[in-house]
Amino acid sequence: MPIRLHDSATRELRDLDPVVRGHVGIYHCGLTVQGPPHIGHIRKEVVFDVLRRWLLRSGYDVTIIANVTDIDDKVLAKGEEQGRPWYAVAYENERALHAAYEVLGCLPPTYEPRATGHVPEMIEMIGELIERGHAYPADDGSGDVYFDVRSWPAYGELSNQRIDDMQPAEDAPPEGKRDPRDFALWKGHKAGEPESASWPTPWGRGRPGWHLECSAMAAKYLGHEFDIHGGGLDLRFPHHENELAQSRAAGQQFARIWMHNAMLNLGGSKMAKSVGNTLMVSEVVKRVRPIALRYYLAASHYRSIVEFSEEALAEAATAFDRIEGYVTRATEVTGGVEPGDVTPGFAAAMDDDLSTPAALAELQAVIGEGNKLLADADGEALRGNLASVRAMLDVLGLDPLAAPWTGSSGSGGDAALASLVEALIEQRAQARADKDFATADRVRDQLAAAGVEVEDTAQGARWQVKG
């Protein structure tokens, strides 16, 4: 069965039909590294990480390219504001982004090209566009080079807009533009901007316009036609519209399918620095386990708005505890099994535009069966069930027994703690054997007060640190 994805260009579900058989090339817009990532940014990473894992499990080779915009107005402004070089700001935030990938279990992209590393490719593309009559250097001496939207009749095809209905682009003063909606491919160096933020071109020194880097880098690493271009819905216009126009006008086919994830809102509006409602990944993972945050983000459909709330996050953590509890218990009983195959229901849900909510419903049903098998002590069936559950969790990047989660949860902790807890549990077991339930309960309460939860099972007491 083919994988079907919602293409935001045509606004319909389309079969994934790769350019190269057995291989899927994906480009998704990374971050402008002007600040550390918030949980809205990381939602996008989780969405594309799940897509990638599903494609891999479906037998495809995947090349995934995510850009890092390390030079633009905002990065320069941050450098100025913080009194240090713009590139120091960019690099620091790029590292924070990588830390966020890692803490949430997102596989690193195949490659993460930086805009500053691809100026020659951009210059080449600008030359091509000028030659074809779709771009022009500003005649006001600014050194800007603009894309000529009137020269490209399809302009607006991605976001379904007509040029005449659009408001003017404000990425540069309109003086040098032929049409106010023309956008900058290249921005001339301005007095007062650091010399380090400019590169020589046939049109004078300057720096990249935002949109061009993605067109140039996608072509370099994925070719003139590739399978999927993704990013946040807020990038659809103007960023992706402009990328599409540039690349097509330069004679390329560009992306076959456009995938846009919906925003993560807080307090009724999009999480964004300009609104001041951001929650940094590094902060949230202090309150809730990273795997629980990932579950929260993966549990809703990628095209639905997530209205963030602490309550919903806590609830997701509880829901995940049930899943993890099953995996832990089943692993104890079976001695552990490797991930096997996902169920047909799970596969059908994932094939249907990455319907993670339906996939999770399937997973919960399989876990319900597994819990029954656990009660019946049916070893063989239980092994099969656990293998399947682990496979499904792996697709979502939520297998608690896989990297990077191992060791971060369960009854681990340091040896001193374990030895103390086990001594108390031994005392309690003796009290229970003596039917001294008052003492047994007191020990359990003591442990609970210290944040250690004890459960009695047929095999003896299990414990884990909660929180």
Binding site: what residues are annotated?
Answer: 29, 214, 239, 243, 273
Which region among 79-87, 106-114, 138-146, 167-175 touches RNA (by CB under 7 A)?
167-175
Q: Is 301 in the site for RNA (CB under 7 A)?
A: yes
Nearest residue (CB) to RNA, 401 versus 443: 443
Binding-site residues from annotation for ATP: 273
Site for RNA in 328-347 (CB under 7 A): 329
Min separation Cβ 432 and RNA, Å: 5
Kindly write out the interface string for residues 107-126 of this chain, putting x where it contacts RNA by CB under 7 A and - elsewhere. --------------------
Distance CA 164, CA 183 (A): 15
Q: Are 182 and 146 in contact (CB under 8 A)?
A: yes
Which region among 191-199, 311-319, 332-340, 392-400 touches RNA (by CB under 7 A)?
311-319
Q: Is 166 in the site for RNA (CB under 7 A)?
A: yes
- Overall residue count recorded for the chain in this entry: 467
Beginning with the edge strand found earlier in the chain, give each strand of the sheet holding 264-266 in spatial order: 269-270, 264-266, 306-307
The DSSP symbol for 20 reads B
Nearest residue (CB) to RNA, 238 versus 397: 238
Write the DSSP string, 79-130: HHHHTS-HHHHHHHHHHHHHHHHHHTTPPPPSB--BGGGGHHHHHHHHHHHH
3-state percent helix, strand, coil for the chain, nearest multiple of 5: 50, 20, 35
Tokens of 236: 């659809």
Q: Which residues pair with 231 in a beta bridge?
A: 260
Pairing of strands 460-465, 452-457: antiparallel
Residue 245 vs residues 169, 233, 372: alpha-carbon distances, Å = 15, 18, 56
Q: Is 167 in the site for RNA (CB under 7 A)?
A: yes
Min separation Cβ 96 and RNA, Å: 12
Q: Is 233 in the site for RNA (CB under 7 A)?
A: yes
Nearest residue (CB) to RNA, 137 versus 230: 230
Min separation Cβ 251 and RNA, Å: 25
Cα-Cα end-to-end distance for the chain: 42
Min separation Cβ 346 and RNA, Å: 12
Q: Are 306 and 332 in contact (CB under 8 A)?
A: no
Q: Is 451 in the site for RNA (CB under 7 A)?
A: no
Q: Of 157, 205, 237, 465, which lies in the binding site for RNA, with binding defined by CB under 7 A?
A: 237
Kindly state the number of chain residues that form the binding site for RNA, as judged by CB under 7 A. 87
Site for RNA in 24-53 (CB under 7 A): 29-32, 40-41, 43-44
Site for RNA in 349-388 (CB under 7 A): 355, 357-358, 360-361, 364-365, 367-368, 371-372, 374-375
Min separation Cβ 305 and RNA, Å: 5
Beginning with the edge strand found earlier in the chain, give each strand of the sheet holding 183-188 in spatial order: 135-137, 145-147, 183-188, 206-208
Nearest residue (CB) to RNA, 187 versus 383: 187
Q: Are 149 and 181 in contact (CB under 8 A)?
A: yes
Q: Is 447 in the site for RNA (CB under 7 A)?
A: no
Q: Which amino acid is present at 87?
A: Y
| Residues in CB range of 33: below 8 A, 6 or more apart | 68, 69, 70, 75, 89, 90, 91, 92, 93, 94, 97
Which region among 199-207, 261-269, 386-394, 402-410 touches RNA (by CB under 7 A)?
261-269
- Classified as helix, coil or strand, 111 is strand
Nearest residue (CB) to RNA, 107 versus 429: 429
Q: Is 449 in the site for RNA (CB under 7 A)?
A: no
Nearest residue (CB) to RNA, 19 versus 315: 315
Question: Over the Cα atoms of the chain, what is R_g?
Answer: 26
Binding-site residues from annotation for Zn(2+): 29, 214, 239, 243
Strands (E), 111-198: 135-137, 145-147, 183-188
Distance of CA 442 to the CA centre of its chain: 46
Min separation Cβ 444 and RNA, Å: 7
Residue 44 vs residues 39, 75, 168, 189, 298: alpha-carbon distances, Å = 9, 21, 28, 33, 10
Nearest residue (CB) to RNA, 96 versus 358: 358
Site for RNA in 190-209 (CB under 7 A): none
Nearest residue (CB) to RNA, 23 versus 462: 462
Residue 279 vs residues 220, 266, 365: alpha-carbon distances, Å = 34, 9, 33
Distance CA 292, CA 278 (A): 19
Q: Of 208, 238, 339, 400, which lies in the binding site for RNA, with binding defined by CB under 7 A?
A: 238
Site for RNA in 272-291 (CB under 7 A): 272, 274
Nearest residue (CB) to RNA, 251 versus 463: 463
Q: Of 3, 89, 126, 306, which lies in the binding site for RNA, with binding defined by CB under 7 A?
A: 306
Kindly write out the interface string for residues 411-440 of this chain, putting x where it contacts RNA by CB under 7 A and - elsewhere. ---------------------x----x--x
Site for RNA in 72-101 (CB under 7 A): 72-74
